[in-house]
Amino acid sequence: MTKISCEVKDLSQRFQHFYLFKDISFQIDIGEVWMIKGNNGSGKSTLLKILSGGMEATKGEVVFSQNEIVLDPNSLWKRNSMVSPYQELPEELSLNELIDFQTKMLGNEEKRMEYGSFIQMFGMEKDAAKPIVHYSTGMKQKAKIILSIGLNRPILFLDEPTSNLDPESFGKFWQLIVGLKKERLIITASNDEKEIAFGKVLMTLG
């Protein structure tokens, strides 16, 4: 089994003279859905962006390892995926077209069938051919989940992932995520106690 770990050393993020968070340190491995709690504005999303390599911290170090071999930070994007409410999708395209583009771009067209199982799981069969512009907010969130989980990457970042989902889809999503925790390193940011109940609290910001 592939072992993925993340070690964070004295991580701080400052905006002008205000520290959003300061001197955060932890080490985590596959096996849990790790939860970062905090109120709105506490720095949860910023921390996830730093961990994913999408933002540079003011101070500190983030080290990901696979089978005890340190991963190159510049290639980390190839090993992670993210679900968040602030992600934008090209709305003139359909979910099917986005999946086709994603699989062809990454050279894994043989995995196209796996996306189909997620489309079925979230009841999107009748809507997958429609342009995203015609989706409700809940349907857009399902599309983001399908595209991200379908990448099948070993590191998964979830930022309030069930925003705008109906109760049935909420349950299906967390059943899926809990089932993946032995295979992927999963780090979640949330202020929703219903989401937090599905994981292990790593820290509380704010």
CA pair distance 165, 63, nearest whole angstrom: 33
* 94, β-bridge pairs: 131
Q: Is the pLDDT of residue 42 over 80?
A: yes
pLDDT of residue 100: 93
What is the crossing angle of helices 112-121 and 95-106, to 10°?
150
CA distance between the termini of the chain = 36
- Strand 185-190 to 69-70 pairing: unpaired
Tens-digit pLDDT profile for residues 43-98: 999 999 999 999 999 999 999 999 999 999 999 999 999 999 889 999 999 999 99
Query: To which residue do tokens 């390892």 refer?
Result: 65
What mean pLDDT value characterizes the chain?
94
Which residue carries 């991580």 as its tokens? 11
Task: Report percent pLDDT > 90 for the chain.
Answer: 86
CATH number of domain containing 47: 3.40.50.300
Q: Which pLDDT value is given to residue 85? A: 87
The boundaries of the domain holding residue 23 are 4-205
pLDDT of residue 96: 96
- Number of domain units in the chain: 1
Tell me the pLDDT tens digit for each residue of 94-144.
Answer: 999 999 999 988 887 777 778 999 999 999 999 999 999 999 999 999 999
| Residues 189/200, Cβ–Cβ less than 8 Å | no
Sequence-ordered list of residues with C-beta below 8 angstroms from that of 195, at least 6 positions apart, any chain: 35, 160, 161, 162, 174, 188
Residue-level pLDDT at 112? 78
